[in-house]
Amino acid sequence: MQSLKTALKEAAWVFIVSRVVILFVTYIAIALLPQFATYQGHAVHFLACTQGIRPNPCYFAWFHWDAIAYARIAHQGYAATSDVAFFPLWPFLVGIVGLLFGGVYPISYYLAGLLLSNLFFFIALVLFYCLIAEDFEQSVARRALFYLSFYPYALFFFAGYTESIFLLLCLGVFLLLRRGKALDWWLAGALSFLATLTRSTGVLLAIPFLVLYIQHYWLPSTRGQSSFWQKANALIPIMLIPAALLVYMAYLWQTKGNPLIFQVAEAKYWTRHFAFIGSSLLTAMSTILHSSRFSVPAILNLLDLLFIAIPVIALALGWRRLPLHYSLFALGIVLFSLSFPTTQFNLLESQPRYLMAAFPIIVVFALWGKRARFDQLYTGFAPALLALFSILFILHFWVA
């Protein structure tokens, strides 16, 4: 109980400070800076089409990109074939809360997404502290909370995206598997089921599941300590992970006539496809070298490469300081995410955002943060970049 109270306290202050910073940046961006003309008025367009209302831009500052898609799905379901690429749990929850807010499209669903995203992020911070304090120490856990909350792309824990709920579900799985009681395996399986209904990368939770299962039941020191039924009880829940995919595929088969149409939508409408990691990285580097120095393709590819390289290098250097299931899960996220680039000029689009699910990399940063120089470097640059990227997002520039 005392550890939970400490976790709530530590999570509360960093959550509040980070939200105050983001809200202040939002006001500055809307009040003092011009909107990017090419994409100006996303929210205005939606309300003009539905209600003839021109909203205050400050209210809809975060209603861009994927947040619009999730609000649309929450309101009308998968009427648009392109939307099936977005897995169903998040828009389902947004839809429920949106109805409680009056069911007015799009404002009710937009506000629901913001509320849920921030609520889930706070709970995720609490679980993150509990997990890291148990596996490492409290000082590392405190730094990890700050480093995560002020990571340059942590703005997506504020917007109505899936980052918060996916992180929360992953951390819940790690905590349950760490405890490893009979019911915990089933609860971890249930949370993995929900994570896979949130994002396809949820299937990677099978990695820590299997690693900890082997460590609990099949190492020489533990093999003879459990019965067959205990081992079976712990292993069977892993089947809930592929079951989540099958559930969504069955729904798509029933409603769209094609259980794999989400893959078709990813390729056709969102230009995302499977490719070898090396080829996409080389293509991105080639785009940087052959584009004008300050052109949009060069800048976007350079930013993506930089914020892919930093966490990947951190994992490569720091994996030995992590438990095995941490390292393998983070590696799985990296490999899975980078294997699906887009076919646009910005091949690595969204990849830095996807890599935030590899939370063990933040733990590596927190461990390195024991050195004052690294801690000063991170706390000096990360919050400033978070503010900059938040402003760019609010002004309708693509961030990730």
- The whole-angstrom separation of Cα 319 and Cα 330 is 9
Tens-digit pLDDT profile for residues 242-269: 999 999 999 999 999 999 999 999 999 9
Arithmetic mean of pLDDT, 340-359: 89
Residue 301 — very low, low, confident or very high, per pLDDT cuts 50/70/90? confident
Q: Is the pLDDT of residue 98 over 80?
A: yes
Say how far apart CA 365 and CA 150 lie, in whole Å: 12
Mean pLDDT on 184-213: 98
- 39: pLDDT confidence band, cut at 50, 70 and 90? very low
Per residue in 207-227, pLDDT tens?
Answer: 999 999 999 999 887 877 888
Can you tell me the distance from the alpha carbon of 328 to that of 324, in angstroms, rounded to the nearest whole number? 6
Residue 286: both structure tokens together: 């080639």
DSSP 398: -
- 65 or 324, which is more confident? 324
pLDDT value of position 38:
44
Q: How many CB atoms sit inside 10 A of residue 135's CB?
A: 16
* 321 and 367 Cβ atoms separated by less than 8 Å: yes
Distances in Å between the Cα of 288 and the Cα atoms of 281, 283, 340, 345, 396 are 11, 9, 20, 10, 23
Share of the chain above pLDDT 90, in %: 76
Closest CA to 388 of 33, 16, 17, 11: 33
SS (H, E, C) 38-90: HHCCHHHHHHHHHCCCCCCCCCCCCCCCHHHHHHHHHHHCCCCHHHHHCCCHH
Amino acid at 249: M
pLDDT in the model for residue 37: 46
The rounded percent of the chain whose pLDDT value lies above 70 is 93
Q: How confident is the model at residue 142 (pLDDT cuts 50, 70, 90)?
A: very high
Banded pLDDT at 7 (limits 50, 70, 90): very high
Residue of 251 and 3 predicted with greater confidence: 251
DSSP-assigned states of every residue in 348-397? TTTHHHHGGG-THHHHHHHHHTTSHHHHHHHHHHHHHHHHHHHHHHHTT-
pLDDT on residue 17: 98
- Preceding peptide of 208 cis, ω within 30°: no
Range in 38-47, 58-67, 113-122 the model is least confident about: 38-47
Residues 6+ apart with CB under 8 A from 328: 207, 208, 211
Q: What is the mean pLDDT of residues 135-163?
A: 97
Using CB atoms within 10 Å of the CB of residue 56, give its burial: 0 to 12 exposed, 13 to 18 middle, 19+ buried. Answer: exposed
Question: Mean of the pLDDT values across residues 224-249?
Answer: 94
- Contact residues for 178 (Cβ-Cβ < 8 A; gap 6+): 131, 134, 135, 212
Lowest mean pLDDT among 40-44, 202-206, 308-312, 378-382: 40-44
Residue 83: which of 97, 103, 68 has the closest Cα?
Answer: 68
SS3 272: strand
Residue 150 reports pLDDT greater than 70 = yes
Domain-by-domain residue ranges, the chain? 2-270+369-394, 271-368
